[in-house]
Amino acid sequence: MELIVRDLVKNFDKKEVLKGASFKFSQGRIYGLLGRNGAGKTTFFNCVNDDLKPDSGSFSVEENGAERPLNPGDIGYVLSTPVVPEFLTGREFLKFFLDVNGQKIENIKTIDEYFELMSILPEDRDKLLKDYSHGMKNKMQMLVNFIANPPILLLDEPLTSFDVVVADEMKKLLKDMKMDHIIIFSTHILELAVDLCDDIVILSGGVLKKIEKEHLDNSEFKERIISALRGEDDE
Amino acid sequence: MNKTLRISFALRITYKVNSIIFALKSLPLINKLLPASLYASRGLKGFALVIAWIVEFFSVFLGKGLYLFSMVFPLLGTFSVPQNVGFVHCFTFLTIVGGFMNTQAFNPTKDKYYAIFLMRMDARQYSLINYVYFIAKMFVGFMPFTIIIGYLTKTPLWICVLMPLFVCSVKLIFMAVIIHNQDSVKNVYNENMPTKIVWCGVLLCLAAAYVPLYFGYAMPIWLFPVLCIPAAALAVFCTVKIWRFQDYRRIYKKLLDPTSPVFAGAKSVSQAATVDMYQKKLDTDITVTSSASGYKYFNEIFMRRHSKLLTRSAKRTALILLCIVLMGIGACFAFPDIRPDLSELVLENLPIFLFVMYFTNRGSVITQAMFINCDHSMLTYRFYRQPWAILSLFKERLKYVAAINLLPALPLALGLPALLYVTGGTSRWWDYPLVGLAILAASVFFSVHHMVLYYLLQPYNIEAEKKSATFGIVNWATYVVCYAVMMQDIPTAIFAPALTAFCVIYIVAALVLAYKLAPRTFKLR
C-alpha cells in the first residue's frame, strides 16, 4: 500500500505554505518529517487528515496495483498536544470508543487488555482523564488510534512528552507496527528521527523532499539534513 | 501623572484601533478589499483612529442618553405622579443602583490588565487617572440629558444641574466604601459578579425607583437637594480617602488574576480564563455515570457531570419566573383593580414573553460548554466527525438542551393560563392552551435555534474564541427580531397560533438543514 500526495497547494491569506508538495509514502516504513518552525508540517498533516481543505492537489491510496481516493478510515492522527474528553474516565473513554467503532475493529480485545498494551496501571484506569498527566493523556490518544488500527498513522511530535522508559516502549511498538502501516512522524529532534525512522523527508520551501542517506554515517547524515533545512542543499 | 494619562489613553486608543481593524477584517466582503498587512497600513490606521476618537467622544454621551431615554423618560407618563416628581425620584434611586453596578475601577477589563501588569504602569496613578476621567465623563455626559429631560418635564433647572453632581458623589462614596472594606473581605469587589447582599440592594433600589410611583407615592422634589448636598460633602471626604489609598496594585492583582474565576466573570476577559472556568465546573464524581451505550452514553455522562453548570441557572430562572407568576396571581386577589391590566398583558402583549424566553434560554451557554469541555478535543478524532456520528450526537444533545430550557418555560406555560383565569378569564376557552403552547413552542424554538447555529456555524476556534462574523450577525438579528416582535401589540388569539406554527416550521426546517449540512460544517476552525 502507498499513500500518494500530488501537487498539494495551501495558502493562508497571501502566504503560500504548501507550494505543490508531492510524495509517495510506502507501507512498512517509518518516515521522519522534519521542517523548520512554520514550515507547514502541521498544515500538511491537517490537509491529509481533512481538517483543512487544500487549495489544490490530491491524496490517493494505491493498493494491489489499483489507485483509489483516501478514505476517512485510512488515517489516524495523533496530535502533539493530547486532546481527550476530560469529563470521562480512561475506561469510559475506551468503552465509548469501542461502542462506536467496535464493528470496524478486527480481533477486538477487552478494555483492560488495551490498558495493558499501553502499560496504564489499574489504579489509573478509573480516573478522570482531566487528572491524567500530559504523558498519560498522550498514551490514551495514541491508544485509541492503535485500536482503530488505520493503515496510515500521522504522529505529530509524539514521543516528546513521554518519560524515557515509555518513549522506548513506544519506539518498539512503532517498529513492531510498521510492517502493516505507513507511519509519518513529525519531530524537531534530529536524533530521534535518525534513530527511529527509515526515511527522512523534509518540508522546506513548501515542498516535500527525501534526504538520501546513501553511504553517510549518522553524523554526516545529520549535517546533510541540517543544511537541507537551512536551504543550502540544491540537489 | 500627565505621562500616565497620555500613555493610558494612547494604550486604550491603540487597543480600540486594532479592535476596529480586526472587526473590519472579520466581515466577509470587506476583508477582500483590505491589504494583507492590515495592522501596519497607515491609511487604515488613520481611519480607525478617527473612528476610535469619535467612539470615545460619543461614549461620553451616548450611554447616558440611552439610559435616561430608555429606563426613565418613557415611563414617566405611565406613573400616577407628576412627571417632574417621577423623574427626580426615579433618577435618585437608579443612581444608587449605578453606584453598585457601574464602578469603573472594579470592572475587570483587559485594558487594566495590559496597563498594570504587562506594561508595568504605576497602579495607583493609572487607577486614579482613569477614575478621574470616568467621573468627569459622568458629569459632562449626564448634564445635557438631565437638562433636556428636566425641560421636557418642567423640573427646576437647578435641580437638573445638581443631578450629575449627585451621580458623581454617589460613585465616589461607593468607591470609598469598597476600598475601605477591601481588607475585611476575602474577595475583591467585582461589579460583574455582585454578591447576594449587593443583589438584594440592587433589587430593593430598583423596586424603590419604580413601584411606589405606580401607586402615587414619590419622594418630594425638595428632598433631592437635601440629599444631594450632604452627599456632595461626603464625596469630598471620600475623594481624599480614594486619593490617599495606596494599595491599588494589590487589589488589581486579585481582581485581574487571569486564572481566577472572578476575572472570568468579566465579559471582556481573556479567553483562557473562560475556558478555565468552564473546565473547573466539571463534576468530578465518577460514580455519576450512564448505562446507555455509544453516543447516548457519551452524551449522558457529559450532561450529568456538567449538570451544575448547565441546569443550575435554568432552575434558578424557573424559580424566579414561578415567583413572579405567583405574585401576579396573588396580586389579582389583593388588588382586584389590576386584573384588567394583567389580563391585557396575557391577551394582548404575549410577544413580551417571546423576549423573556429569548433571555432565559441557556442554549448559548450550553453550546459553549459543549465546545470547551467536549467537542474542542473530540473533533480532532476523525470518527467523531463522520456524518452518522455527528447526527446521532446532535439528536441526543438536542433532547437534553430542549429539556433544560423547558425548565424556565414551564412556570410560564402553566402559570400564564392560570393568571389569565384568575383575572376573570376569557370567553374563548382555547386561549388557555394556546398561551401555554406558544410559550413551550418558543422555548423549543430557541433551543433548536442555538443548537443548529452551533452545528452549522461552529463559531469557536481551538482557543474557544468566537471567530465567525456570520454567527455574530445571526445572533444579533435574532435579538433584533425578538425585540421588534415584543414591541408589537398582537392579540394572543393571533399571536399564539402564529408563533406556534412558525416555531414548528422553523424547527423542522432547521433540523433538515442540520441533518443535511452539519456533517460538513461541524468541525474545528
CA B286/CA B283 separation, integer angstroms: 8
**pLDDT value of position A235:** 46
State the pLDDT confidence band at B268, using cuts at 50, 70 and 90: very low
Task: Cell numbers for A148, please give them.
Answer: 482503530
Give the per-residue pLDDT at B267: 41
Chain B contact present for A226, CB below 8 A: no
**Which of the 8 DSSP states describes residue B460?**
B
Cβ B282–A87 below 8 Å, yes or no? Answer: yes
- pLDDT class of B265 with cuts at 50, 70, 90: very low
Closest CA to B377 of B456, B514, B275: B275
Task: Find the CB nearest B36 among A13, A84, A131.
Answer: A13
Provide the pLDDT confidence category of residue B278 given band limits of 50, 70 and 90: confident
Residue A99 and residue B289: Cβ atoms within 8 Å?
no
Tell me the chain A residues in contact with residue B293 when contact means C-beta distances shorter than 8 Å. Answer: 99
Residues B138-148 have pLDDT tens digits of 999 999 999 99
Set of chain B residues whose Cβ sits within 8 Å of the Cβ of A100 = 294-295, 383, 389
Q: What is the Cα B204 distance to its own chain's centre?
A: 20
CB of B521 closer than 8 Å to CB of B458: yes
By Cβ distance, the residue of A49, A89, A148 closest to B286 is A89
pLDDT band at B266 (very low <50, low <70, confident <90, very high): very low
3-state secondary structure of B476: helix
b/e map B272-293, b = 16+ CB within 10 Å? ebbbbbbeebbeeebeebbeee
**pLDDT tens column, B452-498:** 999 998 888 766 777 777 888 888 899 889 888 888 888 888 888 99
Q: Average pLDDT in the B240-256 region?
A: 86
C-alpha grid cell, residue B508? 423542522
pLDDT digits (tens, 9 = 90+) for B51-105: 878 888 888 888 888 888 888 888 888 888 888 999 999 999 999 999 888 888 8
- The model's pLDDT over A177-228, given as tens digits with 9 standing for 90+, comes to 889 899 999 988 888 888 889 999 999 888 999 988 777 788 888 888 888 8
pLDDT at residue B19 tops 80: no
Question: Hunting for cell 466582503 — which residue is that?
Answer: B29
Give the per-residue pLDDT at B505.
92
- Whether B306 has its CB under 8 Å from any CB of chain A: the answer is yes
In sequence order, which residues have a C-beta less than 8 Å from that of residue A219 and are 6 or more positions away?
A: none
Chain B residue whose CA is closest to A142: B381
Tens digit of each residue's pLDDT (9 = 90 or more) over B170-184: 999 999 988 888 766
Question: Between B38 and B239, whose confidence is greater?
Answer: B239
A181 closest CA partner among A11, A13, A25, A9: A25
Q: What does the pLDDT read at residue B185?
A: 62
Chain B contacts of A92, Cβ < 8 Å? 289, 297, 301
Q: What secondary structure, in 3-state letters, does A173-185 show?
A: HHHHHHHHCEEEE
Decide if A96 touches B, using CB distance below 8 A.
Answer: yes
Compute CA distances B440 → B151, B347, B413, B432, whole Å.
46, 17, 6, 13
**Angle ∠(B133,B135,B137) on CA atoms, nearest 5:** 70
List for chain B the helix, strand, coil content (%; round to 5): 80, 0, 20
Q: Which pLDDT value is given to residue B272?
A: 57
Long-range contacts of B144-147 (CB under 8 A, 24+ apart): B144/B61, B145/B61, B145/B64, B145/B65, B145/B68, B145/B69, B146/B68, B146/B91
Q: Which residues of chain A have pLDDT under 70?
A: 232-235
Domains of chain A (ranges; CATH) run 2-85+151-230 (3.40.50.300)
Q: What percent of chain B clears pLDDT 90, i.e. is strictly above it?
A: 30
* pLDDT confidence band for B9 (50 / 70 / 90): confident
Task: Please report the pLDDT score of residue B33 as a whole number.
Answer: 67
The pLDDT value given to residue B501: 92
Whether this model's ipTM surpasses 0.85 comes out as no
pLDDT at B34: 65
* Higher pLDDT among residues A62 and B277, named by residue: A62
Q: For residue B337, give the C-alpha cell.
A: 383593580
The Cα A24–Cα A18 span in angstroms is 16
Computed over every residue of chain B, the mean pLDDT equals 85
Give residue B259's pLDDT band: very low, low, confident or very high (50, 70, 90): low
- CA pair distance B473, B451, nearest whole angstrom: 16
Tell me phi and psi for residue B262, to 5 degrees. -60, -50
CA distance B374 to chain A (A): 5
Domain boundaries, chain B: 2-264, 297-521
Using DSSP, state whether A29 is helix, strand or coil.
Answer: strand
User: Which DSSP state fits B81?
Assistant: S
